[in-house]
Every structure is written in C-alpha cells, then in structure tokens.
C-alpha cells in the first residue's frame, strides 16, 4: 500500500457531543505518520460539519460524507475498504486515544510478523469522562503461548473482556479480506466475535500491559440502543431473539475454525477446550437460573 503507515478509521453518525474530542485525540498522537479517515453516515445533528472543519484544518484528516445512511456495519466496512495504510485502527466516535497509542502499538505489532492484531488495555469512562474502571486483557498477553490464546477467540466470551481487542491495531489487508467474506449481521451487538474469530484463524492476536485507550460507556451506544429495542419485546420474544442470535454467533465461530487452514490437531485441541468451556457454562446457567450479562 502507498500512503501513511497507519489509518485510523472512524465510522460516525449523530454524535456531536464527543466527536471533536475523539478527533483531537488522534491529531495529538506522538506518532504522526497516519491518516484519519472519517465516514459520516448521513448525520443530521451537526456531526458532519464538525468533521469537515477538522478536515479543512489538517491534511491528515480524510472526510467522506455518505449520501445515504449505510448503517453501522457497512460504514465500518467502508473505512476498512478505503484505508490506504498497511495498518488499521478503528476508533468509535465517542472513544479516544492516549497520545502514545499509535506509537506503542506500532512497536508491538512489528515485534512479531505473525501478528495480525495487537491491543492495549482500556480505561473505561462514563459520559462525562470520569473513570469507571480499567479493563486489562490479561488472558491474551503475548507471553502466553498462542495455542492457548487462540482458543479464547472461538468462545462466546460472556465471562471474558477480550472483545475489547476489536479496537486494537490490525493488518489492513487481513481486515479487508475478512470483511469481504463477512455477511452483514442482524445485530451489531457482539460484532467483535465473528471479526476476532476470523483474524485468529490467520494470525496471532495479543495484548500488552498499557492502558492507552479510552472506552466510553454511553446510553446512546449501539449495544444499549439494541438492548432497549430488545427489552421492549415480550419475555418470550426476547428469549427467542437472543437464543437465535447467540446460537448463530457460536455456530459462526465454530464454522470459522473448521473451515480454516489450521492443522487438524490444532482444530481438535480448540474444539476440546470449547466443549469443556460450554459444559461448565451450562452448569453455571442452570445453577443461577439465567445466563450472565455481558
């Protein structure tokens, strides 16, 4: 690829409250050889105007305004397909980066040619920016053998925080190929799982112990929006939708594993770990009477 070393892809839609702070966190990076690709999904609240203003002031900002609303999945695919750099980072419109994020991730991913994704830990903040907690991705540290880490990405990780690694630094070519094969999901909740499973099937994923990203929990996030729609349905309706959705996610992860080019012995080892994981999980669900919340 020609162009800068890193593309930061931001799919945005109607979030003028936090968009300037998110953009400023990218422009303040200690590593400066990047492009910030913003795709506005036909916002109506002034978000596009804010983004256009930044693009006019800094040549590293590439701003595209979609004519029609693509939806969150296709907008994320757009910034992935249009990335011009060998490395890619997705940034949600209400999150932000610490100044050393790109520099330190670049150092880590260059340490291992087999890496397709590296992630930092995450500082969780509320809508006003106050800290809530820190999510440490300790189960996928680089020091843990990859054969052990890899199995984590083929589970439905109700008990795990590894889904945060979705927002790590990735090989752009791998992500583009992955999106060319990924079908548009019915729900964006847990979209991290099919993405991470496909990445884990072709290369290594790891984290390192630096909390360099801010993940904002807001009531207007896709997860909360979809959850509110779900809660509006009857108890039976919620159960049916969730069972179908979770079943598809689990089936997808197993399908990705079985169809991968991994050796048969590796697949068998991961399947054994999965069988034990789901057996234990079923016992916990029966004991508690309901599945745990994410």
Q: Could you give the domains of the chain?
A: 6-226 (3.90.550.10)
What is the model's pTM? 0.88
Q: What's the pLDDT tens digit per position in 131-141? A: 999 999 999 99
Please name every residue paired with 171 in a beta bridge, in sequence order, or none if there are none: 87
Cα 152 to Cα 70: distance, rounded to the nearest angstrom: 31
Beta strand extents in the chain (DSSP E only): 6-12, 34-40, 61-65, 87-90, 96-97, 115-125, 131-135, 169-171, 204-216
Which residue, 191, 214, 207, is CA-closest to 139? 207
Do 207 and 120 touch, CB atoms closer than 8 A?
yes
Determine the Cα angle at 109 with ends 104 and 114, to 5°: 170
Do 8 and 36 touch, CB atoms closer than 8 A?
yes
Q: Quote the pLDDT of residue 294.
A: 45
**pLDDT lower than 50: segments of the chain:** 292-294
* String of DSSP letters for 95-112: -EE-TTHHHHHHHHHHT-
User: Collapsing DSSP states into helix, strand and coil, what is residue 63?
Assistant: strand
Q: Quote the pLDDT of residue 236.
A: 75
Q: What's the pLDDT tens digit per position in 177-226? A: 999 888 887 666 678 889 999 999 999 999 999 999 999 988 666 665 66
Cα 231 to Cα 233: distance, rounded to the nearest angstrom: 5
Do 156 and 253 touch, CB atoms closer than 8 A?
yes
Element (H, E) at 198: helix 192-200
Cα 174 to Cα 198: distance, rounded to the nearest angstrom: 9
Do 126 and 262 touch, CB atoms closer than 8 A?
no
Element (H, E) at 75: helix 72-81
Chain centre distance of CA 293:
19
């Amino acid at each position: 690829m020609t162009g800068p070393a890193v593309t930061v892809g931001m799919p945005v839609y109607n979030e003028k409250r936090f968009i300037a702070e998110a953009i400023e966190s990218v422009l303040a990076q200690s590593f400066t050889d990047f492009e910030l690709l913003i795709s506005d999904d036909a916002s109506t609240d002034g978000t596009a105007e804010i983004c256009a203003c930044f693009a006019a002031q800094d040549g590293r900002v590439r701003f595209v305004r979609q004519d029609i609303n693509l939806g969150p999945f296709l907008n994320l695919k757009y910034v992935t397909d249009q990335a011009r750099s060998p490395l890619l980072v997705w940034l949600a419109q209400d999150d932000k980066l610490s100044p050393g994020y790109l520099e330190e991730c670049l150092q880590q991913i260059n340490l291992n040619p087999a890496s397709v994704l590296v992630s930092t830990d995450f500082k969780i903040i509320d809508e006003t920016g106050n800290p809530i907690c820190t999510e440490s991705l300790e189960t996928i540290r680089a020091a843990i053998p990859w054969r052990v880490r890899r199995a984590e990405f083929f589970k439905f990780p109700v008990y795990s925080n590894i889904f945060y690694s979705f927002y790590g630094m990735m090989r752009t070519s791998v992500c583009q190929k992955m999106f060319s094969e990924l079908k548009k999901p019915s729900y964006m909740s847990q979209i991290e799982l099919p993405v991470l499973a496909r990445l884990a099937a072709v290369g290594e994923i790891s984290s390192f112990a630096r909390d360099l990203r801010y993940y904002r929990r807001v009531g207007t996030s896709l997860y909360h929006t979809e959850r509110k729609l779900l809660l509006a349905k009857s108890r039976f309706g919620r159960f049916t939708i969730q069972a179908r959705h979770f079943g598809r996610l689990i089936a997808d992860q197993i399908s990705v594993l079985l169809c991968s080019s991994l050796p048969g012995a590796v697949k068998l080892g991961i399947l054994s770990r999965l069988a034990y994981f789901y057996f234990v999980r079923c016992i916990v669900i029966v004991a508690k009477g309901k599945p745990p919340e994410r």
